[in-house]
Each structure stands twice: as structure tokens, then as C-alpha cells.
């Protein structure tokens, strides 16, 4: 944060930098996009995201809950049911995440071709 009270991700101590890093980690975008359709149980979310270990998904969900992007709801039934869903704040990040998803899917051929050219030079 600068002396005017604004935030800047390029300032190492700025909290906005940590948020940006969280949004760009390996699993956060996939979890947020997977929750776009509404509440999900842990096992359904893990299946939708794919290849994420239970421990890593648990940590990702805890971090997102701590940041106010995801809400965890426990239902007192047997067996206990736990749902995860986006908060209003979490739904607010969906549009930029969806843009990144679409860009990624659209540009796969170009990225793969660039990798091949790069690897051929190495």
C-alpha cells in the first residue's frame, strides 16, 4: 500500500500481491470455475477439477474460504454433508476467470506450436 492508501501488486508487502498469487496458483482458477454452477460437495468438486489430491483441494478450499471467496456449509445429518459454494465476492471473480479459460482453450494450438518451435531450437 502506498502513502495514499491505494494498493499495488508490484509492491512486495502489499496484500493485493498475495491475492493475485492466490488467484494464479495451480488449483484456484479450476476450483472457482468448477463452483460457478452452484454448490458442490467435496467429492464432486474433486472429480470435476481432476488430478487434485484431497489434501491440496482441502488447503485450496480453506484458503478461498479464508479470503471470503468460498463458503463452506455443514449440514447436520448422517453422514455429515458439506457443501462448498462461491460467495458474492467469489462470483465477482468469475468473469475474469471465464475470460482466461476461454483464451486458454482458444489458443491451445498456437501455444503448442510455439512450444514445439522453442523445443526444436534447444
Residue 2, pLDDT above cutoff 60: no
Question: Where residue 4 falls among pLDDT bands split at 50, 70, 90?
Answer: low
Rg of the Cα atoms in the chain: 18
CA–CA distance, 85 with 69 (Å, rounded to integer) = 9
Q: Which residues of 64-82 are buried (b: 16+ CB within 10 A; e: fewer)?
A: beebebbbeeeeeeeeeee
What mean pLDDT comes out for the span 59-80? 96
The predicted-structure confidence for 82-119, as pLDDT tens digits, reads as follows 999 999 999 999 999 999 999 999 999 999 999 999 99
Say if CB 61 and CB 74 are below 8 A apart: no
Q: Is 79 helix (H, G, I), strand (E, B) or coil?
A: coil
Residue 69, pLDDT above cutoff 70: yes
Say if CB 65 and CB 45 are below 8 A apart: no
Q: What is the pTM of this model?
A: 0.90
Amino acid at each position: 500500500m502506498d502513502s495514499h492508501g491505494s494498493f499495488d501488486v508490484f509492491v512486495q508487502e502489499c496484500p493485493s500481491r498475495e491475492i493475485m498469487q492466490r488467484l494464479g496458483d495451480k488449483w484456484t482458477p479450476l476450483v472457482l470455475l468448477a463452483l460457478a454452477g452452484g454448490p458442490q460437495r467435496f467429492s464432486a468438486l474433486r472429480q470435476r477439477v481432476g488430478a487434485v489430491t484431497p489434501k491440496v483441494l482441502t488447503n485450496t478450499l480453506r484458503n478461498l474460504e479464508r479470503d471470503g471467496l468460498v463458503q463452506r456449509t455443514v449440514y447436520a445429518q448422517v453422514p455429515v454433508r458439506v457443501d462448498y459454494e462461491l460467495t458474492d465476492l467469489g462470483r465477482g471473480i468469475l468473469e475474469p476467470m471465464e475470460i482466461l479459460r476461454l483464451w486458454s482453450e482458444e489458443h491451445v494450438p498456437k501455444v503448442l506450436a510455439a512450444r514445439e518451435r522453442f523445443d526444436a531450437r534447444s
